[in-house]
Amino acid sequence: MIRSIARIFFAEWRKLRRPTLLLGTLGAVAFFSILVSSVLFLMIDSPQGNGDRGVRITREMLSLSSGATQSFSSIGGLLGIVALCVFAAQTAQEYSLGTLRNLLVRQPGRIRILVGKLASMKVFAIVMTLVSAVISIAVSYALAGGKNVDTALWFNGDGRLEIAKTLLNVYISILGFGIVGMVLGIVLRSPISSISLGVLWLLIIENIVGALKSSTLNWLPGNQLSTIATGGSQSVSYSHALSLSAIYVSVALVIATVLFTKRDVSN
Amino acid sequence: MSNLAISVKDLSKKYGSSLAVSHTNFEVPLGTICGFVGPNGAGKTTTIRMLLGLISPTGGDAQILGEPITSPDKYLASVGAMIEGPAFYPALSGAENLRVLATLGGFAQERVDQLLEQVGLADRGGSKYKTYSLGMKQRLGIAAALLPNPKLLILDEPTNGLDPEGIQEIRQLLRSLADKGTTVFVSSHLLSELELISEYLVMLRKGEVVFAGPIQDLFDQQQPFMIVKTQNEQDLAKIVVIAQSAGHKAHLRDGSAHIEGPAEWAGTLNKLAFDSGILITQLSPQMPNLEETFFELTGNQK
């Protein structure tokens, strides 16, 4: 059992590590990391705000021990969308290319395939998280001096703890988005449909619904996952976001597992 | 252990109200090459998918290498398959695609290079799959099917897209695999190719088996016939009438008269035609080939 899951993991990793996918994804991660970190520091004095949804993050806030990871934590939602696209495409393409039948002939344990694939994608999400953390913290550190932000507390004991905590939160958030993408891939069996629906929901529908009725932000799945990355927000607590996300992801995983194991592979 | 590679009993698959495969029964002995034929939509691919555990039957059961198809994990390690053409990741090279499957199945990575060599892709193994021609894709599909060094090889249209030389190579490959004890279950529309290599045959029509058994048994059931051509094409109809008057089935096809009857009757027919003032320019007694038999049994028009 463990051996066959390991084999599925490494087989999936062969697909994930291909240069176009790996470098393309890490390029997008680097772009968002540089963009968000730069906006945070370069627009520090802007009256329009320098954070998510026009929020102002002051020099004093950035000088705290959490200052190093301030930009990194706000990137969580964007990284999540990147993860959703990668996980959805990797899963749905097995149906659209017809390669799922090859996989199932070589490894008929369908749950094992799902677990092995997920494990491989989890490692991919770790790579994404680490690359984003390194870039966003490095850019923040490089820009902090020019904007008179004190970095003395960033890398002391509390600062390192904040970095570790944020790494974990961003990783959980990215993974949650990724699993939603994987589930969409299994349900819709088309990379374009699953990515379109996921991005449409997260970037447009949730924002419109949230803007029309702010109380919905307490239960919209994308907002819960983004909130985990930031460690909680004014409107949604960290524990609420974490527990509600766990419910969403668990239900989605159960549906995907049932579909993946029971559905005929006829394409 | 049973001496059957495939044993299918009353197997059925229903999609909504339509029956794709209906109470199918057939057996394939170990170490043989078995052709699997039928018109498009006859249920061949559906049957193959059920045998490989990709879709669940709605009735009946089957065994592969002595194991029930409800437990594909017990037999798939000894089965190689290519279903409905090759399917690979376009952005990966041919070799890398095979390595994905070798990793998945726990096969030695060295086997990838051996197989690329065996199917004639050694010099293109490093190229991306999306740059392959249809024939190269087909060869890669066959290489993937051979990865487990299978006891049973199931191939769905393996010669699609191959040139005559490629078709001949695949025929030789299948023959050599069978000589080494591999059972080959191959579906193809190239009936002349199947006739050359198959010892067994399963023929489907509208989801039902119309013949299953040794291919020689099928030919033994068929009537010999004669192909007749005349100096004047208008006389062909008269030849048909003469044959029918003598109690033989006859019809016109492809500019000649096809008349059922043993080779010994050819002389009599020639005399009858001569007496009627008809000059026969060709009179060839023949046994029906697989294609003729296929059209007769499946009711398809040539």
Taking the CA of residue A249 and the nearest CA in chain B, the distance in Å comes to 27
Taking the CA of residue B194 and the nearest CA in chain A, the distance in Å comes to 25
- For residue A221, CA distances in Å to A138, A240, A245, A251, A252 come to 30, 11, 6, 12, 11
Q: What is the pLDDT of residue B1?
A: 56
Size of interface A-B (CB pairs under 8 A): 80
In a domain? residue B269: yes
Q: State the pLDDT confidence band at B160, using cuts at 50, 70 and 90.
A: confident
Cα-based angle A187, A188, A190 (whole degrees, multiple of 5): 135
Q: Do the Cβ atoms of A264 and B54 come within 8 Å?
A: yes
Q: Do the Cβ atoms of A104 and B52 come within 8 Å?
A: yes
Q: Do the Cβ atoms of B87 and A105 come within 8 Å?
A: no
Concatenating the DSSP letter of every residue in A8-36 gives HHHHHHHHHTSHHHHHHHHHHHHHHHHHH
Specify whether the CB–CB gap between A179 and A91 falls below 8 A: no
Residues B81 and B174 in one domain: yes
Name the residue in chain B with its Cα closest to that of A98.
B87
Q: Which residues of A touch B79 (CB under 8 A)?
A: 105
In a domain? residue B292: no
In a domain? residue B299: no
Torsion of CA A204, A124, A14, A259, to 10 degrees: -50
What's the domain count of chain B?
A: 2
Residues B159 and B229 in one domain: no
Residues B10 and B127 in one domain: yes
Residue at which a domain ends, from B181, B199, B220: B220
Residues B30 and B148 in one domain: yes
Query: Could you report the per-residue pLDDT of A159-218, keeping only the tens digit for each?
Result: 999 999 999 999 999 999 999 999 999 999 999 999 999 999 998 999 899 889 988 889
Rounded Cα distance between A143 and A138, Å, is 9
Q: What is the pLDDT of residue B197?
A: 87
In a domain? residue B120: yes
Tokens of B124: 């293109």
Q: Which residue of A16, A96, A102 is the best one to mutate when testing the B interface, meaning the one whose CB has the most B CBs within 10 A?
A: A102
Q: What is the pLDDT of residue B59?
A: 93
Taking the CA of residue A188 and the nearest CA in chain B, the distance in Å comes to 18
Residues B214 and B243 in one domain: no
Q: Do the Cβ atoms of B89 and A99 come within 8 Å?
A: yes
Which SS3 state, helix, strand or coil, does residue B255 take?
coil
Of A4, A249, A251, give the one whose Cα is nearest residue A115.
A4
What's the residue count for chain B? 302
Q: State the pLDDT confidence band at B299, using cuts at 50, 70 and 90.
A: low
Q: What is the mean pLDDT of residues B66-95?
A: 93
Q: Which residue of B89, B92, B104 is the best one to mutate when testing the A interface, meaning the one whose CB has the most A CBs within 10 A?
A: B104
In a domain? residue B126: yes
Residues B216 and B257 in one domain: no
Q: Do the Cβ atoms of A106 and B73 come within 8 Å?
A: no
Q: What is the pLDDT of residue B134?
A: 86
Residues B178 and B85 in one domain: yes
Q: Which residue has the tokens 């002051």?
A: A58
Q: Which amino acid is at A51?
A: G
Residue at which a domain ends, from B220, B251, B273: B220
Rounded Cα distance between B224 and B235, Å, is 22
* Proportion of chain B above pLDDT 70, given as a percent: 98
Q: What is the mean pLDDT of residues B51-65?
A: 94
Rounded Cα distance between B144 and B105, Å, is 11
Name the residue in chain B with its Cα closest to that of A101.
B54
Q: State the pLDDT confidence band at B300, using cuts at 50, 70 and 90.
A: low
Query: Could you report the per-residue pLDDT of A192-209, keeping only the tens digit for each?
Result: 999 999 999 998 999 899
Q: Which residues of B touch A109 (CB under 8 A)?
A: 73
Q: What is the mean pLDDT of residues B177-182?
A: 90
Residues B98 and B16 in one domain: yes
Residues B70 and B148 in one domain: yes
Q: Do the Cβ atoms of A106 and B89 come within 8 Å?
A: no
**Max CA-CA distance within chain A?**
62
- Residue B230's domain spans which residues? 223-286
What's the residue count for chain A? 267
- Dihedral pair phi/psi, residue B278, rounded to 5°: -105, 135
Tokens of A263: 């559905």
Which CATH number belongs to the domain containing residue B260 in this structure? 3.30.70.790
In a domain? residue B296: no
Residues B116 and B256 in one domain: no
Residues B59 and B117 in one domain: yes
Query: Could you report the per-residue pLDDT of A44-94, keeping only the tens digit for each?
Result: 877 777 777 767 788 888 888 888 898 999 888 899 999 999 999 999 999
Tokens of A133: 């953390």
Which CATH number belongs to the domain containing residue B142 in this structure? 3.40.50.300
Radius of gyration over every alpha carbon of chain B, rounded to an integer in angstroms: 23
Please report which helix (H) or strand (E) contains residue B249, including its range. none
Asked whether the predicted pLDDT for residue A124 surpasses 90, the reply is yes
Residue at which a domain ends, from B167, B187, B220: B220
In a domain? residue B298: no
Surface of B (39-98) touching A: CB under 8 A: 46, 49, 52-56, 72-73, 76, 79, 81, 83-85, 87-92, 96
The contacts of residue A254 (CB under 8 Å, 6+ apart) are none
Q: Which residue has the tokens 């003469």?
A: B242
Residues B75 and B121 in one domain: yes
In a domain? residue B300: no
Taking the CA of residue A96 and the nearest CA in chain B, the distance in Å comes to 10
Q: What is the pLDDT of residue A106?
A: 92
Rounded Cα distance between B297 and A55, Å, is 77
Is the pTM here over 0.90, yes or no? no
Which SS3 state, helix, strand or coil, does residue A113 take?
helix
